[in-house]
A = this chain, B = another copy of it.
Amino acid sequence: MKYPIKKVSHEGKQSTVSNRGMDLEEAINLTNQVYIDRDRAYIYKKPIPIQVVSVQYEKRSAARITEAYYKIPSTTDYNGIYRGRYLDFEAKETISKTSFPLKNIHEHQVKHLEHITNHGGIGFILVQFKSIGKVFLLDSRHVSRFYQRYLENSGQRRSISLSEFEEFGYVIKESYALRLDYLSIVDLVYFQAP
């Protein structure tokens, strides 16, 4: 089965994250590029971890990987530097109308964000509820708390409810120039005195 390389084209595109015409990753990547262009932050996407098993070296051409597997990620999707601080987050979408299933996050990723937070960095998740077109930022400490509840009561609460996102998280605003201006929320949550 062939999977052609996804081409990203934005010309004449009117969609926003909330109307579901654009996926979350695309919105974040566009936003990060604007941040870089404006010299506001330097945040980038990490490569996807892949375990390479077989490589063929052919003459006069690039090494071709012929067998490989996706690995369970031990870190998050994005990281970078903002206002001198280390910033790190994982981005997820859900089609659920009521909650975000925690099986979408790996325990290693929760621990990763805890490490970041414990060492003075900024760590969070961005979760898009596609049904209502909202993207929430939820700080790493809340993620850890809900994940702990999930581990301890796996039979009961396997998710973070939308109302918990509304209580403990922050909605990211969208604009045309900045599809998903999450740094404005970061300013509010991590840089303002309480």
Contacts and interface: CB of A to CB of B under 8 A. Distances in A.
Q: Which of A2, A79, A81, A85 has the most CB of B within 10 A?
A: A81
A75 B44 contact: yes
A11 interface: no
A106 to B, nearest CB: 14
Interface stretch (A18-26, A61-69, A169-177): A61-69
A101 interface: no
Interface in A34-69: 36, 39, 41-42, 44, 46-57, 62-69
Interface stretch (A115-123, A144-152, A179-187): A115-123
A63 B67 contact: no
Contacts of A52: 3, 48, 50, 68
A165 interface: no
Contacts of A5: 51, 53
A70 B61 CA distance: 12
B62 A65 contact: no
A79 B79 contact: yes
Contacts of A56: 1
Contacts of A68: 50, 52, 64-65, 68
Instruction: Give the most central of A3, A47, A74: most B CB within 10 Å.
Output: A47
Q: Which 3 A/B pairs are nearest by Cβ-Cβ distance?
A: A84-B120, A47-B49, A65-B68
